[in-house]
Structure 1
Amino acid sequence: METTWDPYLAACPCRDVLDLVANKWTALMVGVLARRPHRFGELRREVAGITPKVLTQNLRSLERDGLVSRKVYPTTPPSVEYALTPLGESISGYLIALNNWTAANFDDIKRARAAYDAAQEAAPQPVG
């Protein structure tokens, strides 16, 4: 019998997976890996702004959760290639859609933020 997981419950252990896949770096890394497998340096260049430490941490988490595979080639020095697994491919469409939605709607979000900030500045400040 399979367990039913509910990420809306505070004690549900599946929340850590939600934390991983909802992470901005994960969304960007999966989007890049959906195109084709990449070596570490290639992935780092394609995901602009990510540090080697954060990239390593995220790759390890994605590999641990079965979303990314790591293949070591017996070269000198060793080459390592990362690719999405079938499980990783199954979520890639959602994360790519989220990335695309963000880019398509960012102008509206910027306008909403500016309007909100202006309203906050114009509102009387509480005394106290």
Structure 2
Amino acid sequence: MFKNYLLIALRNIKRYRGYSLINILGLSIGIASCLFILLYVQFELSYDNYHKDADRIYRVANSRKTNARLELFATAPMGAAPTIKESFPEVEEAARCSEANSFQVKYKDKKYIE
């Protein structure tokens, strides 16, 4: 029975080459896309899970709105870590992560390079 199904499938593939090529190509692209999405989601969900208390780790992000566009950064100002640790007793430890570039901070008419 299975042999007959296989023969019919092969005959149809030979007879309708263009249609079969489109179907096989679409199926392979769909399967490859699903696998890539699965790998990406698995990576994102497992990020930083090697830490002992991974569920207790948080990241403070920085955002800036320029020309009606919101830009997000994975860095925080230099004084953020000590200030957060002093202000919130729940915070056990704090670490800073910043780029080597300097930023200009403007408050009213004063400008500061940070």
Higher strand share: 2
Higher helix share: 1
Q: TM tier, shorter chain?
A: under 0.3
User: What TM-score comes out, normalization by structure 2 length?
Assistant: 0.24
> Which of the pair has the greater relative contact order for Cα pairs under 8 Å at 6+ separation?
1
User: What TM-score comes out, normalization by structure 1 length?
Assistant: 0.22
Structure 1 or 2, whichever has the larger Rg, is 2
